[in-house]
Amino acid sequence: MRKFLQHPITLFLTLILGFFVACQPQASTQQTPAQSPTASPTVSTPVAYVDRPLTASPAQLPPLPYDAGALSKAIDAETMRIHHDRHHQTYVDNLNTALKDQPNLQNLSIEAMLRDLNAVPENIRNTIRNNAGGHLNHTIFWQIMSPEGGGQPTGAIAQAINQTFGNFESFRKQFNEAGGDRFGSGWVWLVRNAQGQLQIVSTANQDNPIMEGNYPIMGNDVWEHAYYLRYQNRRADYLNNWWNVVNWNEINRRFQAASQQQARS
Ligand SMILES: [Fe+2]
């Protein structure tokens, strides 16, 4: 080898080759962090409303956007009044009580709190989970219903539903089944998941899909307090009738917001 390199031409070519190799871009040993398939959108991403997050300083009960009796195609006035004025109000009150001595948490949005519950002190974590979740879930719920609602889905969400579930009837059937299968209390949702796909999910108690990195596009409350006065134990009838008040305009706005926020995150 030494003899080989001693030849002037060979040595010259070897040096040129060495220089050329040294100048090539080196493969980085630093790995780009893998994108977690369940990576959640940024903490500032709102889901309570399409254009703003839900404040915790203090939490406030939003007014119903219609009369309590306006959704009687699916839900009676007394249920709406008790549900909104008492149940939702209680989540708001309990949340404010839990946050009373927590100025740092009060500065966070409800969404940010729920996305990072581990940052909440352990002694109030469960209270925050249940009541911040209850406040967020019901804030979404009132908006995605309307006296003028019902019928077939419209706009971009209609196309996305057909693409994902085949047709609206198939989607509605799967959604109702997921709501019926939720044991005890909880919610059934249509979400946009971290992979950008529509998916039906169910959450227990007052958990919200953002806790799993999903954007809630629409959801139905399957707690008994949402339907018991009119439907008693017939949750399936409530789930079927609920479609008569579904607000496709608002759901389209949420679907669009979900798509835009995912593109940014
Ligand atoms: Fe509820």
pLDDT tens, position by position, 104-152: 999 999 999 999 999 999 999 999 999 999 999 999 999 999 999 999 9
The full DSSP string for 138-193 is: HHHHHHTB-TT--SS--HHHHHHHHHHHSSHHHHHHHHHHHHHH--SSEEEEEEE-
- Residue 37 Cα to ligand 1 midpoint, Å, equals 30
Gap between the terminal Cα atoms of the chain = 57
- Residue 219 Cα to ligand 1 midpoint, Å, equals 11
- Residue 9 Cα to ligand 1 midpoint, Å, equals 85
Whether the per-residue pLDDT at 2 is higher than 50: the answer is: no
- Residue 159 Cα to ligand 1 midpoint, Å, equals 29
- Residue 130 Cα to ligand 1 midpoint, Å, equals 12
Q: Using a pLDDT cut of 90, give the percent of the chain over it.
A: 80
CA distance 155 to 166: 16
Contacts of 260 (CB under 8 A, 6+ apart): none
**Report field, pTM of the whole predicted structure over 0.85:** no
- Residue 164 Cα to ligand 1 midpoint, Å, equals 28
pLDDT the model gives residue 4: 47
pLDDT the model gives residue 45: 77
The order of strands in the sheet holding 198-204 is 198-204, 186-192, 215-221
Across the range 6-27, mean pLDDT stands at: 42
- Residue 143 Cα to ligand 1 midpoint, Å, equals 13
- Residue 222 Cα to ligand 1 midpoint, Å, equals 7
Q: Using a pLDDT cut of 70, give the percent of the chain over it.
A: 82
- Residue 232 Cα to ligand 1 midpoint, Å, equals 15
Whether the per-residue pLDDT at 39 is higher than 70: the answer is: no
pLDDT tens column, 207-229: 999 999 999 999 999 999 999 99
Dmax (CA) for the chain in angstroms is 100
Across the range 36-54, mean pLDDT stands at: 67
Lowest mean pLDDT among 12-16, 197-201, 225-229: 12-16
At 163, give phi and psi (nearest 5°): -65, -40
Cβ count within 10 A of residue 18: 10
